Chains A and B, each alone.
Chain A
Amino acid sequence: ETGVTQSPTHLIKTRGQQVTLRCSSQSGHNTVSWYQQALGQGPQFIFQYYREEENGRGNFPPRFSGLQFPNYSSELNVNALELDDSALYLCASTSSGGTDTQYFGPGTRLTVL
């Protein structure tokens, strides 16, 4: 158990819809990163939040957005869903602005039909 939780576990949406995924970080962890893992691939970095501010972004379009809250929980929002957005979405938390090891949550499996 890493102390990182995500909800929901599974989600099915249709193309064009919007989705919000949630992550609850380990206590005291002020940095959260989100990753997208397509089937058969390694995770790809989406973005990172540190003290409620975006602290770096990977090669993902603006329809992927996020929020981090004062209690260190966070959200990943995806607008105008596309079929290729179907993937496992992982959040990972760490302390010290990301200098320590990241601990991953169990992920949310998103299917876009």
Chain B
Amino acid sequence: EDKVVQSPLSLVVHEGDTVTLNCSYEVTNFRSLLWYKQEKKAPTFLFMLTSSGIEKKSGRLSSILDKKELFSILNITATQTGDSAIYLCAVDPVRGAQKLVFGQGTRLTINP
């Protein structure tokens, strides 16, 4: 059975800190790994990773994939209170279909 595990499940830090969120996966087939941010309801897309070792960046957020060790990390530098959210990692195990398998999510709280 395809499985995605995120850690930690919950994290509380102070504004300005740097955080690293982890995602490991076991899937029969692998097409891509995606990160989403969920603040209230709709998960919003952050990154899609398909190749190992290539860092994707967007402002203070960055992510990298290791297909050999089957994990990904999401880094957030100089955190702000607006970064408080649930961060979801998902794997797309079926080519051309995007039937995503999600992890449980990491609840990140940034205190001022």
- Residue numbers of A with Cβ under 8 A of B are 2, 4, 31, 33, 35, 40-45, 48, 55-56, 58, 88, 90, 94, 97-107, 109
Give complex CA distance A44, B103 in Å. 9
Interface size of B in residues (CB-CB distance below 8 Å): 24
Number of A-B contacts (CB under 8 A): 71
Interface string of B79-101 (1 = CB under 8 A from A): 00000000010100010111111
A-B contact pairs, 6 of them (CB 8 A): A4-B42, A31-B98, A42-B88, A100-B98, A103-B45, A104-B43
Whether, in the assembled complex, B68 has its beta carbon less than 8 Å from a beta carbon of chain A, the answer is no
Whether A97 touches B45, Cβ cut-off 8 Å, given contacts A42-B102, A42-B105, A43-B88, is no
Whether the Cβ atoms of A98 and B96 lie closer than 8 Å is yes
Give every chain B residue within 8 A of A4 (Cβ-Cβ). 42
Nearest chain B residue, comparing its CB with the CB of A105:
B42
Q: Name B residues whose Cβ lies closer than 8 Å to a Cβ of A.
A: 4, 6, 34, 36, 40-45, 48, 88, 90, 94, 96-105
Contacts A42-B105, A44-B102: A56 and B97 contacting too (C-beta < 8 A)? yes
Query: Which residue of B4, B42, B102 contacts A2 across the interface (Cβ within 8 Å)?
Result: B42
